[in-house]
Amino acid sequence: MNPDLFERMFPASQFRPEPKVTAEESRGIQALLRKGEVREERAAARKAKRDAARRALVDNLIRDVKEGILMLRDVYGLPVTDEMASDRANNIVCGLIANHDIRALETP
């Protein structure tokens, strides 16, 4: 097909209309985008705060379970090293968190 004939039949402007946005509309759109960015930043900050609290909860649980295992070692004379107690405490806490909704009674 002849390119000139094709251009006459299907002008490019028909398929790619120029955007008609005024300067005021452009400023409004930019303001909305900035609001969205602020909302996203606030949401990210809230999520980071929740994650930090969750990490503190998990760390405290692991420490408490490890201390309990070491106390049992001392009371009953079990052959458990500190490393074994740490590994066991990690496994116990991971299992608890995976299967139950655990929340702190107090905020750290």
Nearest-angstrom CA–CA distance, 56 and 53: 5
The answer, as to whether pTM is greater than 0.75, is no
pLDDT tens digits, residue range 70-95? 999 999 999 999 999 999 999 999 99
Nearest-angstrom CA–CA distance, 31 and 25: 10
pLDDT tens digits, residue range 32-51? 778 888 888 889 999 999 89
Nearest-angstrom CA–CA distance, 46 and 69: 35
Q: What is the 3-state secondary structure (H, E, C) of 79-101?
A: CCCHHHHHHHHHHHHHHHHHHCC
What are the residue boundaries of the structural domains of the chain, listed by start? 20-99
Nearest-angstrom CA–CA distance, 20 and 26: 10
